[in-house]
Structure 1
Amino acid sequence: MFKGTPLNLPPYPFQLQKRDEKIYIFDELRKKYLLVTPEEWVRQHWIQHLINQKGVPKGLIQSEGGLKLNDLQKRTDLVVFDTTGERVLIAEFKAPEIKITQSVFDQIARYNFVYKIPLLLVSNGLTHYYCKVDFENKTYQFIEDLPLLTKV
């Protein structure tokens, strides 16, 4: 059936459907099938990675959340909450063929200007960047991997 671009993430046994010559993937968070685009392929791998490798309960992950930025309605690719309801991670995903550039970091920084979330994730499925933000000292640092988010 469908063989998506191999990513730098573990493979997962996704539920796929073919309708009208298009492939759809089941989104466990939204409980529906979504058209598989390259970016959606990356997002669905990250959702599974967060659940299976990072121990994040499904109920604490929000996919395609809305936010208001300068009176414009925007959508975050993914936000993770802790058990108290605080946002602890914001993620921006791109298709594997999209290079991660400064403009991608600028985009997530603009979104985080609204949310003030301590962890940022930027990924095209092949290359992943993680950043820890210290709002008090107005600094940030790139980190090698995401911590277990249940302990953030």
Structure 2
Amino acid sequence: MQVLKLPMYDYQLDEHSIFCLIRKKWIFLTPEEWVRQHFLNLLINHLKYPKGMFKLEHTMSYFKNQKRSDIMVLDREGKVFMLVECKAPKVKLNQKVVSQVATYNKILDAKYLSITNGMNHFIWEKGENDFEQIRDFPGYIF
């Protein structure tokens, strides 16, 4: 797999799978899953987000369509703190990807929205009227 612009960690691989930091089971290794696991490592081991506050590939309905968010981080009250859309490293992070996470957020109402392909990462914070891009990922609010 490709080296990413995310912190390295001691991941576990077998022939076709990676061991998930959250789900505690082997997940088929795709380029997107490679990015997801590295991004989880950033949030858990570097930004100290608690493992128990994550939902991965959460299914939701949007106008009778089933959608799945890649990474959802909840706050202590169970509200969505951050929503992250992961893409494979070769996928460009364009307006289509931003629109995808924004559509999910119409249902979930997260304080932070993020997109990553492992090479580039963007994050926005909810302001009074709209989301504003910020430079750094927030620490988890305890």
Q: TM-score range by the shorter chain?
A: over 0.9
**Structure 2 equivalent of residue 15 of structure 1:** 12
Whether 1:42 aligns to 2:39 is no
Do structure 1's residue 76 and structure 2's residue 73 form an aligned pair? no
Instruction: Using the aligned pairs only, state the percent identity.
Output: 37
SS state at 1:68 partner: strand
Structure 1 CA distance for aligned equivalents of residues 141 and 5 of structure 2: 23
Q: Is the 8 A contact 1:55 1:150 kept in 2?
A: no
The size of the alignment, in residue pairs, is: 142
Distance (Å, rounded) in 2 between the aligned partners of 1:105 and 1:122: 7
Q: Which runs of 5+ in 2 are unaligned?
A: none
Aligned to 2:50: 57
Task: After superposition, give the CA deviation of every residue in 1:54-110 in whole Å (9 maximum; x if it has no partner).
Answer: 111110011111111111111000100112212100000100000100000011110
Task: Report the Cα distance in structure 1 between the residues aligned to 2:27 and 2:107, rounded to whole angstroms.
Answer: 28
| In 2: Cα distance, 1:24 partner to 1:127 partner | 24
Residue 5 of structure 1 aligns with which residue?
2
TM-score, with structure 1 as normaliser:
0.90
Q: Unaligned stretches of 5+ in structure 1?
A: none
List per-residue Cα deviations over 1:26-68 (Å, max 9, x = no partner). 0121121011100000000011111001111110011111111
> Could you report, residue by residue, the CA deviation over 1:87-139 in whole angstroms, capped at 9, with x for unpaired residues?
100000100000100000011110001111110110000000000112xx321
